Amino acid sequence: MTAMPMSTGLKVAALIALTEGAALVAYGLYVIVQVARVGITGPSPVSNVQSVTLQIAIFLAFGAGLLLVAWGLWRARRWGRAPAVIGQLLGLVVGVPLVGAPGGVERAVGILVVALAIAALVCLFLPSTTRALLEE
């Protein structure tokens, strides 16, 4: 029995999840470095030890989760699709409001996040992706 070649859609979805996961982990590490360098800054309701610790934990955990999902998708594991879809839906929840942000950087990040999320969702539901996942 020969192995079915992995679908392009599955590869693209895995690469998007890998990119998103790496970006979230990198941002979590960036926050750690910034706190070590300049301390906790910003408005007091969101700039305290508990809030920053929670922010770092969320970015690192979600990023690590997406990296695991990317690995599962790359290996054509069926279990990877559901958390990948949830991750992309969360990306849309964050990205869509950023598209309307007044700042240029925030708007650009929002457009990028929305574009990646939509591309990944399309790839995750392509018939070739479903076939590849069912051949596991």
pLDDT at 9 over 80: yes
Distance of CA 41 to the CA centre of its chain: 26
Report the alpha-carbon distance of residue 88 to residue 114 in Å, rounded.
9
Count of Cβ atoms closer than 10 Å to residue 9 Cβ: 22
| 19, two tokens | 């990119």
pLDDT of residue 38: 82
pTM of the model: 0.88
How much of the chain exceeds pLDDT 90, in percent? 76
| 58, two tokens | 């969320």
Report the alpha-carbon distance of residue 21 to residue 79 in Å, rounded.
17
69-92: pLDDT as tens digits:
999 999 999 999 999 999 999 999
Long-range contacts of 68-75 (CB under 8 A, 24+ apart): 68/21, 69/17, 69/21, 70/14, 70/15, 70/17, 70/18, 70/21, 71/14, 73/10, 73/13, 73/14, 73/17, 74/6, 74/10, 74/11, 74/14, 74/18
By mean pLDDT, which of 4-13, 48-57, 125-134 is the weakest?
Answer: 4-13
The contacts of residue 21 (CB under 8 Å, 6+ apart) are: 62, 63, 64, 65, 66, 67, 68, 69, 70
Q: What is the mean pLDDT of residues 85-109?
A: 94
24-56: pLDDT as tens digits:
999 999 999 998 888 887 777 667 888 899 999
